[in-house]
């Protein structure tokens, strides 16, 4: 079947380990397309799907072939390819891309069981998020824009401690043990997918404060493949130059340890990329407009759109640092990719 450009369903893939901020990221991206993403009406309350007018986000955990018990019996983790049904994932992503409705399984995160399937209709923009969007070649080829969220071990550990110790009462030892147990499969099956990504958001400990280990201040890098048809990399001041910039001063308020920006060309697994980096955090989010005015090729539709989005989502984690800023920029790139593929214009929100 040949689809007219305007009928095309654009597929966006987001890969990351669990607990690394995928849902927060997705809320920023879908917000750019307008409408409040909601779970399917009248369906299973434990559905992992969220849809708004233009977008549907499906969680690839729904394609687990083994449920929690099955994994325990087989002695495999949720990260192992044996725990996924890639055939069904491929069939259904393909069908959705062709405009068809599918009966998608539901992995119930509460019970650890596979619940009866729910009907999922084809959206304008299908976002598949989870552990393995680029692992299977057939699925990978259906994806138009690939994003990888790369959280360094130190930061992953800091976030898990915050959540699992403070909110779930786990011990430090048990958190360490569960991270260690997942690590071999993470390294073997999840991490290598970043080589296939078009954009990578890398989250590292700050370099502004020696030995900062709490993961409060972050150094965040946006790695963008060069020479792509569907998007142009963002740049700071002058495309292709190497720029180091401390924007703190008369127009931007910074308390200790300040903000340091960096932009320049690099290579990433043998491919040419542009890198934009932000270390540190904002004191006053409104002043982000000053930094935004020095960025080019952001895919914003009007002056100040990035700042507006950041202010709108200021309650989300990462809003005062590079994670929020770069997730917002990647969201604008998703819109640009959609517009280039479909030759349609998304109304500004
Ligand atoms: P996922 O969907 O990948 O499981 P979430 O978006 O639910 O991840 O985030 C999991 C937790 O990680 C959040 O509750 C928060 O504690 C932490 N987190 C996520 N993103 C950030 C961020 N940018 N900065 C600080 N903490 C974050
Ligand atoms: C989901 C998550 C995994 C998590 C798993 C729990 O599939 O995406 O990251 O590990 O649930 O698996 P477990 O076998 O520990 O119940």
CB of 21 within 6 A of ligand 1: the answer is: yes
Confidence check: pLDDT of 1 > 70: no
State the CB neighbour count (10 A cutoff) for residue 244.
11
324 CA closest ligand 1 atom index: 23
Confidence check: pLDDT of 228 > 90: yes
Confidence check: pLDDT of 168 > 80: no
Number of domains in the chain: 2
CB of 331 within 6 A of ligand 1: the answer is: no
Q: Closest Cα partner for 154 from 115, 204, 109?
A: 204
CB of 24 within 6 A of ligand 1: the answer is: yes
Q: Are residues 259 and 331 in the same domain?
A: yes
Task: Calculate how far, in angstroms, residue 18's C-alpha sits from the geometric centre of ligand 1.
Answer: 9
DSSP character string of 88-100: HHHHHHHHHHTT-
Q: Closest Cα partner for 14 from 133, 126, 117, 121?
A: 133
Instruction: Please give the ipTM for the structure prediction.
Output: 0.92
Specify the higher pLDDT residue, 249 or 345: 345
218 CA closest ligand 1 atom index: 24
- pLDDT score at 215: 83
203 CA closest ligand 1 atom index: 23
- pLDDT score at 88: 98
- What residue ranges in 184-270 does DSSP mark as E strands? 199-205, 218-225, 235-236, 243-245, 259-268
Q: Are residues 204 and 95 in the same domain?
A: no
Ligand number, closest to the Cα atom of 325: 1
107 CA closest ligand 2 atom index: 7
Confidence check: pLDDT of 72 > 90: yes
Q: Do 93 and 144 contact (CB within 8 A), yes or no? A: no
Q: Name the 3-class secondary structure at 261.
A: strand
- pLDDT score at 161: 85
Q: Of the given ranges (21-30, 33-42, 130-139, 247-256), which has the lowest mean pLDDT?
A: 247-256
- Hunting for tokens 């090729």 — which residue is that? 297
Q: Closest Cα partner for 19 from 165, 117, 143, 205?
A: 165
The residue among 148, 166, 185 that closes a domain is: 148
CB of 307 within 6 A of ligand 1: the answer is: no
Q: Do 291 and 6 contact (CB within 8 A), yes or no? A: no
Ligand number, closest to the Cα atom of 320: 1
The residue among 148, 183, 213 that closes a domain is: 148
Residue 166: CB partners within 8 Å, gap ≥ 6? none
Give the total residue count for the chain: 349
Mutational pocket test of ligand 2: of 78, 89, 130, 131, the residue with most ligand atoms within 8 Å of the beta carbon: 78
- Indicate whether 96 belongs to any domain: yes
> Counting beta carbons within 10 angstroms of the beta carbon of residue 197, is it exposed (0 to 12), middle (13 to 18) or buried (19 or more)?
buried
CB of 318 within 6 A of ligand 1: the answer is: yes
The residue among 148, 166, 186 that closes a domain is: 148
Ligand number, closest to the Cα atom of 158: 1
- Indicate whether 245 belongs to any domain: yes
Q: Of the given ranges (49-58, 138-147, 168-177, 300-309), which has the lowest mean pLDDT?
A: 168-177
- Indicate whether 161 belongs to any domain: no
Mean residue pLDDT across the chain = 94
Domain range for 259? 198-337
Task: Calculate how far, in angstroms, residue 37's C-alpha sits from the geometric centre of ligand 1.
Answer: 18
List C-alpha distances in Å: 266 to 42, 150, 229, 271: 49, 17, 19, 8
- pLDDT score at 93: 98
Strands 125-130 and 10-15: parallel
The whole-angstrom separation of Cα 305 and Cα 325 is 11
Mean pLDDT of all residues in 149-156? 94
Task: Calculate how far, in angstroms, residue 78's C-alpha sits from the geometric centre of ligand 2.
Answer: 5
Q: Are residues 11 and 100 in the same domain?
A: yes
CB of 61 within 6 A of ligand 2: the answer is: yes
- Indicate whether 172 belongs to any domain: no
The whole-angstrom separation of Cα 60 and Cα 37 is 17
Strand partners, 106: 115
The whole-angstrom separation of Cα 167 and Cα 317 is 15
Q: Are residues 48 and 136 in the same domain?
A: yes
CA quadruple 12, 16, 18, 23: dihedral sign:
negative
18 CA closest ligand 2 atom index: 9
Q: Closest Cα partner for 60 from 100, 15, 113?
A: 15
CATH number at residue 131: 3.40.50.300
- pLDDT score at 348: 86
């Amino acid at each position: 079947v040949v689809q007219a450009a305007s009928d095309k369903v654009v597929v966006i893939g987001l890969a990351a380990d669990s607990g690394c901020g995928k849902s927060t990221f997705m809320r920023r991206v879908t917000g750019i397309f307008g409408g409040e993403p909601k779970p399917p009406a009248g369906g299973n309350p434990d559905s992992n799907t969220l849809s708004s007018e233009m977008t549907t986000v499906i969680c690839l955990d729904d394609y687990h072939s083994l449920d929690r018990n099955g994994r325990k019996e087989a002695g495999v983790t949720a990260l192992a390819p044996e725990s996924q049904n890639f055939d069904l994932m491929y069939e259904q992503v393909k069908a959705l891309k062709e405009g068809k409705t599918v009966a998608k399984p539901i992995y119930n995160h509460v019970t650890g069981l596979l619940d009866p399937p729910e009907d999922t209709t084809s959206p304008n923009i299908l976002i598949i998020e989870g552990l393995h969007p680029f692992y299977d070649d057939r699925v990978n080829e259906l994806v138009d824009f690939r994003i990888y969220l790369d959280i360094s071990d130190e930061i992953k550990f800091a976030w898990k401690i915050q959540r699992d110790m403070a909110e779930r009462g786990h011990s430090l030892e048990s958190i360490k043990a569960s991270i260690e147990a997942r690590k071999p499969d993470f390294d073997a099956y999840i991490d290598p997918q970043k080589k296939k990504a078009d954009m990578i958001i890398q989250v590292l400990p700050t370099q502004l404060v020696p030995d900062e280990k709490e993961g409060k201040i972050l150094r965040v890098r946006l790695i963008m493949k060069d020479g792509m048809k569907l998007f142009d990399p963002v740049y700071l001041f002058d495309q292709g130059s190497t720029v180091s910039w401390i924007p703190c001063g008369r127009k931007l308020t910074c308390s200790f340890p300040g903000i340091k920006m960096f932009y320049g060309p690099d290579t990433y697994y043998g491919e040419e990329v542009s890198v934009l980096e932000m270390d540190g955090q904002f004191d006053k989010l409104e002043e982000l407009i000053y930094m935004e005015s020095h960025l080019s090729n952001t895919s914003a539709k009007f002056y100040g759109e990035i700042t507006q989005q950041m202010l709108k989502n200021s309650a989300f984690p990462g809003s005062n640092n590079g994670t929020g800023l770069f997730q917002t920029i990647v969201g604008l790139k998703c819109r640009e990719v959609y517009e280039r593929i479909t030759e349609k214009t998304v109304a500004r929100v």
